[in-house]
Structure formats: C-alpha cells, structure tokens
A and B are shown apart, each in its own frame.
Chain A
Amino acid sequence: MEQFLASLAFIILYGGTYGAVLFIISVGLVMTMGLMRVPNLAHGAFAALGGYLTILLMNQAGANYFVAVPVAVILVAALGALAERTIYVRLYNIPELDQILLTVGIAFIFVGGLALTFGPNVFTIRLPEVLSGSVDLFGRSFPVYRVFLLAVGALIILGFWLVFDRTTLGAKLRAAVDNRSMAQATGINVERIVMLAFAAGTGLAALGGAIGAGLFPLEPLYPIKYLTIILIIVALSGFGNIKSSIVVAMVVGIADTAARYYLPELGGFAIYALVIAAVAMRPAGMFARQG
C-alpha cells in the first residue's frame, strides 16, 4: 500500500510537471491555431530558440538563470511578433498545404541553423543552486526543479485565467477566436490582437523550452522531435480552446508518466492509443462543447 501511494505521488508530481511544460510549450499554438487557422509547424523552433538563447546568455554574457530565462523569453516574443508581421501575415489566405510547407520549412531552417551554430550535441542548461536540491513531499524526496516547474505552470495558468476572464483584452481575444469577422466588425483591432497573441505564444514556447530543458533536452532536432507531442496537445484541445488545453496537457503528462512507470516497454506508445481513442470519439477536442 505504502509502495502504491509512493508511486501514485510520483506519477502525479512527475506527470504534473511533464504536463505543465507541455502546456507552456503548446498553448501558444493552441491559441494561434484558433486565431489564425495557421498550423504553425515551426512552433517548436521558438521553444528551442528560447532554450538556446538562455544558454547563450548564461555562458557568453554570464547572466544568472533567473535573468537569462526572462530575457530569452522577451527576445523570442519580440522575434515572434516580427515573424508574424513579416512572414505569417502572408499565410492567412493561402491554402493549408502551402502553410504547412512554409512553416515546416521554417522549422528545418531552425534545425540547420542550430546545428551550424551550436553543433550536433545536446546542450544542457545549468540549474542554479536553489533549484538543484530536493525537498520532502508526501513522505519522499522530490527534486526542487520539478516543484519549480509545477509552480511556474500554475502561475502561467493563473495568468491566463486572469487575462482571459477578467480583462478586456481577454474578451477581445475570445471574440476574435470565436468569430473573427464579427469581432472585426465591432471595431476590435484583430490584427493587433493576433500579433500580441502570436508574440505571447512564441514567448511562452520559449519559456517552456528554457525551463523545460531538463525534460526535453535541447538539441538541433528539437523543433521536429517534439512537434508530435505539441500537435497532440493541439489536436486534443481543439483549436483555440485554452482552458481545455490545460486539462489536456495534464492528462497527457500524467497518462504518459503512468504508462511509462507501469508498462515501461509499451509506455511510449500508450499516449498514441489515448490520442487515437480521443480523436475517434471526440474529434473536435477532448473537452470541446459537443454539437
């Protein structure tokens, strides 16, 4: 029994952290898919860039971890805004296949660029002292790093909830996702909202890439390698459904961890079984309104 409780605590905390990082990385794509209807397959590249910029800032500029991460996030968000205005804005009215080709091309450019700049090896971000120890929770020790990830995930979720449900910007954003032309007709500057949402989405991906490097190791293939799992979150959430993406990311994180723990040899595939079942039964998203 004690063994069972210990393993349960493990699955919830580790699966929860996995889910939290998945949410932070994917939510930007969920949002922009809803707003722009562009399957941005280069989304993972922004996450990788966040991680690599953090490394650069720490190693080359000697920045502290807690300074390097926000600076990297802001830089990537700015780059995201720029990319939206210059590249993505051209994609809104072209066929889907062209959108896919172009964004996957961007992802490959990032893969090549990262390999050229940083070499083919995996890079790890050195955690500061405060994050490298462990704490006692539920009668066993857990790494502080995991607790930190959970805390950041909770903060982001709280922030989303506040912005979405409690601010005018949130209301405009929701309006734009639900019915773009109607929102435009009521005088909402949808273009600006789209740019802000894209910047926020890429910035969050960068945050996930930077703090989640302990779970998703940084390597040049990052943008392609983790695209599947990001797209799984997007597909299960439904376009633009941010609240459900929180739950989806947690379910995926915990289910994946549980499967790897109890059935290590099949564990890697359990998540795909979940996806197939979920998409077959609820094609609009796991928690989408039916009808």
Chain B
Amino acid sequence: MFELKKKLAAFAAVTALAVGLPVTAGAQDQIKVGILSHDTGPFAQNGQGFHRGIEVYQALHGKSAGGREIEFVYRDIGGPNPAVGKRLAEELIVREKVQILGGFALSSEALAVGPIVEQTKTPAITFIASSPSVLAGSQYFLKSGQHIAQSSSAGATFARKQGAEKCYIVVSDYQPGYDAQKAFRKTFESEGGQIVGEVRVPLNTVDFAAIVEGIASTETDCINVFVPPGAPAIGLLRALAERGLVESNFVVGMGEAEDHILPQYDDSVVGFKGALYYAEALDNEENKTFIAKLKELYGPDTQPDFASASAYDGAHLIYEMVKSQEGKDWSGPDAVEAVKGLSWNGVRGPMKIDPETRELVQNIYLREVQKVDGKLQNAIVDQLEAVEAPSKEWMEN
C-alpha cells in the first residue's frame, strides 16, 4: 500500500511537471520566457531581430516587472521545421520550466506548438507568424505582429487611393501567399478595381524573369507582390525593375524592401511600396528611443526591421502580462485575460489587443523607397489608422 502511494505521488509529480503545472506554490520571483527563434538557416535574419528587439527592450526597461525578474531563454529552430519547433517548445516548458513562450517567425511553427500551449495553459506571443489560423490554435496565443490581411488589404486600399485600376498579383506558392493574395484581391475588387492576372510562383524560384515577362505582356497599372524576404524578394523586385515595371506601375508588397535590405538593391527599386504595420522612419517617441538604443548596442549602422520591432513590442506585452500578476501566484490564463483589450504605444504607433479576437488593432503604413542624399530609404507616404483584422468569415469567403 505504501509502495503504491509512493508510486502515485511520483506519478503525480511527473505529470504535473509534464503539463507544466506550478509544482511549487507561492509567488515565484522569476518568470522565464522561452523564445523560439531562428539563429541559423534561411530565417536567421528574423532571429537576429528577435534577439535585438528583446535586448533593446530589456536595456531600456530593466530586467524585472511586477516584482519578478524576467529571464529570456532562446532556442534555435534553424529552418522551416515545425516538428523541431514543437520539440523545442516542449523542452522549454518541461525542462526549462518557462511560463511564457514567444518568438515564432513562421505560422507553421505556431500551428505545431498550438496544442502544447493549449494543454499547458502557457501564454505564447507570436512575433511574426501572421496566418489567420494561428490564434485559433490556442486561446493562450497573442500576437505582436499582424494578421496578414491587415497589410495585404491595406495595400489594395492604398493602390485604389492612388487611382490604380488594373492589378496583377504575384505571390509565393505557400499558405501565407494564398492568404495575402486573397485579402488583396477581395479588397481591391470590393473597392472597384480589377484583377487582371494572378500567379503563384514556386518557392524555389530564383530567376523571376519569365514570370515578369508574363506580367509585362498584360495591361496593368498596379502589381501586388508577396514573396518571402531574402533571395526570392530580391530576385522578383530586380526582375520587375529590369523590365521597367517598378517605374510604370504601382508596385506594392509588404516587407520585401525594408531599410536594412535596401543596400542589396540598386536604384531601380526606387518607387517600390510596402504596406506594413511598422516603418523604420516612424516619427514617434517609442520608435526614436528604440532606434537610438539599437544603434547604441549594435553599432551605428544597425537598422531596425519589422522582426526587431515586433520583438520589442512583444517584449512589452510580456512585461505587461507579468505586471498584471504582481503579488499573486503566477497564472498564465489570468495573465492573458489581463492584457485582452490592452492598448499602448508601441514602436509602430498606437496598438490595441482586440478583446474578442485577440488580434491587434494597429496602423498600417504605406512606405515608398526613395533616394535621399544619394541613399536609398523608405519614406512613409500614407497610412491607415486603427486597422482591424478581418473576421474568419471574411477570410474564408
């Protein structure tokens, strides 16, 4: 009998550990945050942004909040590999005993980790993953990035505002590409424009000349693009520019030509536009402080990007969640509940968590690549305020 009791106790302890229940009662004085990052592989740029955004936030706001010390633990997924992301998330929760998860460059990672987050009631903040289905994965998911349709639809609205009538859509052949394509098409058409062509380009495409040739043979005054940053984005934009289409069309994408990528382009990229929730040139206090500290920590040539900005705003959200539990036993679900409806000024401007959908309500900026004093940079040429994420029904129909 005694033996059995011992076994049961051990079993209970193991299960408690496995599902991440607080084993020790009472208020801990430390909160551990696990960041699923990419320090190697094709998305290492995003991982670098995650590290920098968080480190800048800590440098500015200290390493504790609400009476608890906050420690970040990083794990490298190293490529588009949801299974590795899932394994690392388990390891972070079970072995490292993190109370909050963050990071998530890709939606596929967030989708894979969703069930673990739900089971262990661990709040998780996706910095970039922007697929409409991410938040449905668990009620404990929050975002510091965007819903992909916020930027895509805004791109279509901006194009219509500039008088674009006939648009061609080029997206990469993967889920985010389809979502972006759908949102752009729906908005552009509902605002009276016409989509004259759509093409999904295989992800492994490096030479876009043939695709661009197809667009050039169509009558367009607007081209919408959505391809992953890096080689595909550079290849596509250069091919468009080479064919003279950047000059003759309203070419709008998202993050294909952020400031730190611009040195990879020549002047033919001038005029390219990106609709996104963040812009390096934003003239608000938070962004100025953020950039100043970023340059102080990593050198004067360092430039912010949407990854570091999202990580910074994500870190703020994490700090707010920890603050909400001040003086109480840590409870993940309570922390998530506490920040629903929270609004604050991030480096991207005013942002708010919609308490119903948990999506962000935020501005979308239209940025245009311009040449100022011999240097290429993005200028903000227009903006839409307090853009909400579309409903699930809107995305599906």
Interface residues of A (CB under 8 A from B): 3, 6-7, 10-11, 14, 18, 112, 115, 120-124, 126-127, 132, 134, 143, 214-217, 219, 221, 257-258, 260-261, 264-265, 267-269
Given the known A-B contacts A124-B264, A219-B230, A260-B210, are A265 and B205 also in contact in the complex, defined by CB atoms under 8 Å? no
- What is the 8 Å Cβ interface bit string for chain B, positions 255-268, against chain A (1 contact, 0 not)? 00000010011100
A265 to B198, CA, bound (A): 10
- Across the interface, which residues of A come within 8 angstroms of B40, CB to CB? 112, 115, 120
Given the known A-B contacts A120-B45, A121-B45, are A260 and B205 also in contact in the complex, defined by CB atoms under 8 Å? yes
Given A3-B217, A122-B234, A124-B266, output 13 extra A-B contacts at Cβ < 8 Å: A7-B213, A7-B217, A10-B210, A112-B40, A115-B40, A120-B41, A120-B42, A120-B44, A132-B266, A216-B207, A217-B234, A219-B42, A219-B231
A18–B199 CB distance below 8 A: no
A257–B210 CB distance below 8 A: yes
Closest CB in chain B relative to A256 CB, distance in Å: 8
B44–A265 CB distance below 8 A: no
Can you give 23 A-B contacts (C-beta < 8 A)? Answer: A10-B210, A10-B213, A14-B210, A18-B207, A112-B40, A120-B40, A120-B42, A121-B264, A122-B234, A122-B264, A123-B264, A126-B266, A216-B206, A217-B231, A217-B234, A221-B42, A260-B205, A261-B211, A264-B199, A264-B210, A264-B211, A264-B214, A265-B200
Interface residues of B (CB under 8 A from A): 40-42, 44-45, 48, 173, 199-202, 204-207, 209-211, 213-214, 217, 230-231, 234-235, 238, 242, 261, 264-266
Count, A-B residue pairs, CB within 8 A: 86
- Across the interface, which residues of A come within 8 angstroms of B264, CB to CB? 121-124
- Across the interface, which residues of B come within 8 angstroms of A122, CB to CB? 230-231, 234, 264
For residue B261, which residue of chain A has the nearest CB?
A: A121
For residue B46, which residue of chain A has the nearest CB?
A: A120
A265–B206 CB distance below 8 A: no
A267–B206 CB distance below 8 A: no
A11 to B211, CA, bound (A): 11
Closest CB in chain A relative to B387 CB, distance in Å: 29
Closest CB in chain B relative to A8 CB, distance in Å: 11
A160 to B321, CA, bound (A): 68
Interface centre among A121, A127, A268 (most CB of B within 10 A): A121
- Across the interface, which residues of B come within 8 angstroms of A260, CB to CB? 205, 207, 210-211
A18 to B210, CA, bound (A): 11
- Across the interface, which residues of A come within 8 angstroms of B173, CB to CB? 265
Given the known A-B contacts A115-B44, A267-B202, are A261 and B214 also in contact in the complex, defined by CB atoms under 8 Å? yes
A122 to B237, CA, bound (A): 13
A14 to B208, CA, bound (A): 10
A127 to B264, CA, bound (A): 12
- Across the interface, which residues of B come within 8 angstroms of A7, CB to CB? 213, 217
A39 to B45, CA, bound (A): 32
- Across the interface, which residues of A come within 8 angstroms of B204, CB to CB? 268
Given the known A-B contacts A257-B210, A265-B199, are A124 and B217 also in contact in the complex, defined by CB atoms under 8 Å? no
Given the known A-B contacts A14-B209, A121-B264, A260-B210, are A268 and B231 also in contact in the complex, defined by CB atoms under 8 Å? no
